[in-house]
Structure 1
Amino acid sequence: MRASIEWHQLVGVNEAIAPTPQNRLAVKQPPADPIPLQPSPSDHTHEVLASPKTLPRSSDQPKKSAIELAATANTLSALRRSLESFEGCTLMKTATNLVFADGQIGSKILFIGEAPGAEEDREGVPFVGPSGRLLDKMLASIELRRSDVMISNLVFWRPPGNRTPTQQEAAICMPFVERLIELVSPQILVPLGGPAAKSLLGQTQGIGRLRGKWYNFETSRTPYPIPSTPIFHPAYLLRTPMQKRTAWSDLRLIRNKLNSAQHT
């Protein structure tokens, strides 16, 4: 025993770990089984509330209906009737009138804006307000009349408060817009503003970077790729007159393209 104590002192063990000595070789008694705790009602309620719930998936039916209705329209009047019978866009619930298009099949240029405004909603005709009057002047500056072109929008009903259409609203209306372009078959397609340019041309950049360049628009039913160049929306030019010089440059680009198409 004395030798053991001396050895512990030699290796540095000079105090007891516990106040009383313990027999480490004794057989330990197994602990008694714990009393199981019953879950309280509040614990169960918390578990139920915390469990994730599966949310219903949004339906693609409105888009499917739009595709089917648009595909069956072989004239502009038939396409308008399809839109009048379509119930998949919530904008129609707050709008006064359907705002379809203004122009004829065979128009040289097709302008696609963003959405109808208050005056367009009242009259059921696109671009009849201040933006429309400026657009008429822009056309006149390159020797075109309103009767020479076709004008429409990404959506056919006015959004509440003249807000920008949502991506879902534009996507639901897109089959009708594409069918309109196919039926008109213009020489040039001109998106007005950033939202129209992004939706029609599949681009992500802003209008400031997209303008002044040519792109191709085509669907499975267009006989050929349609040259397309986006320009500033007239409403933007009314708010930002300093950009009118840039807009004039874009209009001359369109005029030159139209002239070259007529000579080929």
Structure 2
Amino acid sequence: MSQDQQLNNDELLSVLEWYRAAGVDLAVGEDAIDRFAQKTQQAAAPRAAVQSMQQASQPAAPPPLAGPIGGDPGEAQRLAAEAPTLEALKATLESYDGCGLKFRATQLVFGEGNPEAKIVIIGDPPGADEDREGRPFAGRTADLLTRMLASIGLDWDSVYALNTIPWRPPGNRAPTPEELSLCLPFLHRHVELIGPRLVMTMGQMATQTVFQSTSSIIKMRGKWQDVSIGNHTVPAIATLPPGYLLRNPAAKQQAWRDLLSFRSRMAELSLP
């Protein structure tokens, strides 16, 4: 059919029916109009004004976060070594501004339990609950850990707990190697001052840090090893952290085997 061919009534009705079936039910003119081009032209004029208003209403960029970009591990080592007691170490950490994590955390998470205890539990970096409460284990993880300890005859009067680092990393991310190097001297001194006879690590970061390993917690758990934490050498075993067990209840069987091994070693050393 040529473009100028005249259609009879039946053919016109057929064309109209085809358009109706296709969803075209409104005649807007003889010539087609490119609505997309029209919209672009209409928007072009006020666009600059709109952008100007948006820029004017945009809040000013916040000032850079307080605190140093990079600290000095040598200073951290010196300050930690100079702390003669746990109270002095805590005061040193509260005044220490060398690690930027401090300026993003709510508060310092130091340690909890009996400072005279011969059993130390080292957990991963603080999470949201720990950051909010200022305790190494908090919330539901603290409740489960209390029950885990009770299952082998321990309580908070017979253990001391602390975290690998004393401040929560933003968003629970892993600490950077630089941040870890600034916090490790304080962890080492913390353990030296307590002088435990047994250590249990709970979590991958805690285990890799204490055992100086890159292996996963799944491969490391349940295996005893003498570790050096600062100037203190002590037998240590790794197990799964309470938070992981809450998310994966089937793994409690593995943790229970680790606890039984820990109880056996306690009996050998007449602890607690």
TM over 0.5: yes
**Which of the numbers 157, 160, 163 marks the counterpart of 2:167?**
157
2-structure distance, mates of 1:115, 1:237: 17
1-structure distance, mates of 2:182, 2:201: 18
Which residue of structure 2 lines up, in the alignment, with residue 195 of structure 1? Answer: 205
Kindly state the Cα deviation for residue 108 of structure 1 after the two structures are TM-superposed: 2.3
Query: Does the CA contact (< 8 Å) of 2:210 and 2:229 recur in 1?
Result: no
The change in CA–CA distance for 1:236 and 1:167 in structure 2 (over 3 A counts) is farther
Which residue identity does 1:250 align to in structure 2? D
**Which of the numbers 149, 158, 166 marks the counterpart of 1:139?**
149
The change in CA–CA distance for 1:220 and 1:80 in structure 2 (over 3 A counts) is closer
The change in CA–CA distance for 1:142 and 1:88 in structure 2 (over 3 A counts) is same
2-structure distance, mates of 1:86, 1:130: 30
Please give the residue correspondences for 1:83-102 in structure 2 after superposition, counting only pairs within 5 Å.
Answer: 83-102=93-112
Q: Does 1:244 align with 2:252?
A: yes
Q: Tell me, which stretches of 5 or more residues in structure 1 are unaligned?
A: 1-58
2-structure distance, mates of 1:158, 1:60: 17
The change in CA–CA distance for 1:253 and 1:75 in structure 2 (over 3 A counts) is same
Which residue of structure 2 lines up, in the alignment, with residue 261 of structure 1? Answer: 269
The change in CA–CA distance for 1:258 and 1:167 in structure 2 (over 3 A counts) is same
Kindly state the Cα deviation for residue 163 of structure 1 after the two structures are TM-superposed: 2.2
Please give the residue correspondences for 1:94-243 in structure 2 after superposition, counting only pairs within 5 Å.
Answer: 94-219=104-229, 221-222=231-232, 225-243=233-251
**Structure 1 moving runs of 4+ over 3 Å:** none
Q: Tell me, which stretches of 5 or more residues in structure 2 are unaligned?
A: 1-68
Q: Deviations over 1:157-191 (max 9, x none)?
A: 11112223223222211000011111111111111
Greater C-alpha radius of gyration: 1
More deviation in 156-165 or 71-80? 156-165
Kindly state the Cα deviation for residue 96 of structure 1 after the two structures are TM-superposed: 1.1
Kindly state the Cα deviation for residue 106 of structure 1 after the two structures are TM-superposed: 2.3
Q: Deviations over 1:37-56 (max 9, x none)?
A: xxxxxxxxxxxxxxxxxxxx
2-structure distance, mates of 1:220, 1:111: 16
2-structure distance, mates of 1:62, 1:132: 33
Kindly state the Cα deviation for residue 65 of structure 1 after the two structures are TM-superposed: 1.3
Query: Does the CA contact (< 8 Å) of 2:70 and 2:98 recur in 1?
Result: no
Which residue identity does 1:102 align to in structure 2? E
Kindly state the Cα deviation for residue 150 of structure 1 after the two structures are TM-superposed: 0.6
Q: For this pair of structures, how many residues does the alignment match?
A: 203
Which residue identity does 1:134 align to in structure 2? L
Kindly state the Cα deviation for residue 60 of structure 1 after the two structures are TM-superposed: 7.5
% identity of equivalent residues: 41
Which residue identity does 2:254 align to in structure 1? T
2-structure distance, mates of 1:90, 1:171: 12
Which residue identity does 1:243 align to in structure 2? A
Which residue identity does 2:101 align to in structure 1? L
Which residue identity does 2:96 align to in structure 1? F
**Which of the numbers 66, 80, 87 marks the counterpart of 1:70?**
80
- Secondary structure, counterpart of 1:147 in structure 2: coil
Which residue of structure 1 lines up, in the alignment, with residue 19 of structure 2? Answer: none
Which residue identity does 2:190 align to in structure 1? L
The change in CA–CA distance for 1:135 and 1:219 in structure 2 (over 3 A counts) is closer
